[in-house]
Amino acid sequence: MFTGIIETIGQVVSAQQLGGDVRITISAPDFASRDVALGDSIAINGVCLTVIEYGGDEFVFDVSIESINHTLIGDWVTGKKVNLEMALLPTTRLGGHLVSGHVDGLAKLIKLSKDARSWRMVFELPTDLAKYVAKKGSITINGTSLTVNSVNGNQFDVNVIPHTFDVTTLGTLNEGDRVHIEVDLIARYLERLLSGDTKASSGITESFLSENGFA
């Protein structure tokens, strides 16, 4: 699990095709002195990957076909900058929100504009993901925890403060670029509970949620 609070920006050193999937090497000098071990999880642009080798400031990850099919990793080339976050510890401050590192889909940046000292970003989502995005809810964009300002159909916008713009790769995005999206975990579980697609009914309904202040 992660928090969506980016710890550093890394860089792709190599992306090697191996038998249909990919092995990537990421340079992350800020992680060189960290207590990293084989098998540790690191979120790279919001994708949870496992460290299979490391040395100095370089970390190696195998990326499955499943991950390649649902992310932009297959398009990564040497020199690409990526957001990095190590898995949270029990003592970690939860400054963002609970993030699994499992990308739900891709969104496109359709408008980028200044908003006082911050930046306003408008994204377009696939229709099947838009239902999980709510005004003032949480969303993860390339691994970065952000708050949704407003929703209009399959579009939503976020406000990115100067600090976040500078210390993540969000500041490198241009209109038309695609990003990794992870919707809020609670929205996913609520859909499952309300769908009734289980052997035993949970007893949780929309009216129950409304009566108890959850909807």
Q: Per the domain annotation, does 91 fall within a domain? A: no
Q: Is residue 50 part of a domain?
A: yes
Residue 209 domain-assigned (yes or no): no
- Residues 15, 78, single domain; the answer is yes
Residue 65 is part of which domain span? 8-86
Give me the torsion for CA of 100, 104, 109, 111, rounded to 10°: -90
User: Do 129 and 174 belong together in one domain?
Assistant: yes
User: Which pTM does this prediction carry?
Assistant: 0.87
In a domain, 52, yes or no: yes
CATH at residue 69:
2.40.30.20
Domain end, chosen from 34, 54, 86, is at: 86
Count structural domains, the chain.
2
Q: Are the beta carbons of 99 and 41 closer than 8 angstroms?
A: no
Say yes or no: 47 and 110 in one domain.
Answer: no
* pLDDT at residue number 201: 52
Q: Which of 39, 58, 86 is the last residue of a domain?
A: 86
- CA within 13 Å, CB half, 81: 11
For residues 139 and 172, membership in a common domain is answered with: yes
Residues 72 and 109 in one domain: no
What is the C-alpha to C-alpha distance for residues 135 and 148, in angstroms, rounded to an integer? 5
195 is a domain residue: no
Q: 13 and 79, same structural domain?
A: yes
Residue 122 structure tokens? 């408008």
pLDDT for the residue numbered 199:
53
> Per residue in 166-175, pLDDT tens?
999 999 999 9
Query: What pLDDT digit, counting tens, does each position of 143-176 carry?
Result: 999 999 999 999 999 999 999 999 999 999 999 9
Instruction: Decide if 66 is inside a domain.
Output: yes
Token representation of residue 114: 């200044």
User: Residues 48, 118: one domain?
Assistant: no
Position 209 scores a pLDDT of 58
CA angle 169, 175, 177 (to 5 degrees): 60
Q: Which residue, 98, 146, 107, is CA-closest to 129?
A: 107
Does some domain include residue 48? yes
Claim to verify: residue 78 and residue 114 sit in the same structural domain: no
Q: Which pLDDT does position 205 carry in this prediction?
A: 60
47 and 113 co-located in one domain: no
Residues 64 and 114 in one domain: no
Cα separation, 160 vs 121, whole angstroms = 8
Query: Whose structure tokens read 């994708």?
Result: 47
In a domain, residue 196? The reply is no
pLDDT at 94: 79
Write out residues in the chain with pLDDT < 50, as ranges.
Answer: 200
